[in-house]
Structure formats: C-alpha cells, structure tokens
Amino acid sequence: MHDEVANEEKSAVNLRIRTALKIKAKNLGVNLSQTLEKSLEAEIRRQEQLEWLEANR
C-alpha cells in the first residue's frame, strides 16, 4: 500500500502559512509536503467517519 501512495502522481499547490511557523519547521527539518499529506489524510479519514456515522444512525 505504501508503495502505491509513494508512486502516486503529485500536484503542485500554492498555500500561505504564518512565516514564523515556516521558519520553525525549516529549522527543525520538517518536510512540509509530507506533513501536509499526513495531516490531510488524517482529516479526510475523520470527516469520512463522521459522515458515515451520521448516515448510519
């Protein structure tokens, strides 16, 4: 499964974050793309679970 995700096509995005947050992440060696992907995957799962629970009350 992980190999499928790693080989998945990527898209460039333009977003804005607080400058101080960007600087701290850079200083700590945080990979913004990987961090955003993981966070979005978690949020999507959470939202889908909420939708499922609402639909299956």
Domain encompassing residue 50: 33-57
What's the pLDDT score for residue 46?
A: 98
Residue 41 lies in a domain: yes
Give the tens place of pLDDT for each residue, 26-47. 999 999 999 999 999 999 999 9
> What's the predicted TM-score (pTM) here?
0.78
Q: What is the total residue count of the chain?
A: 57
Residue 5 lies in a domain: no
Domain total of the chain: 1
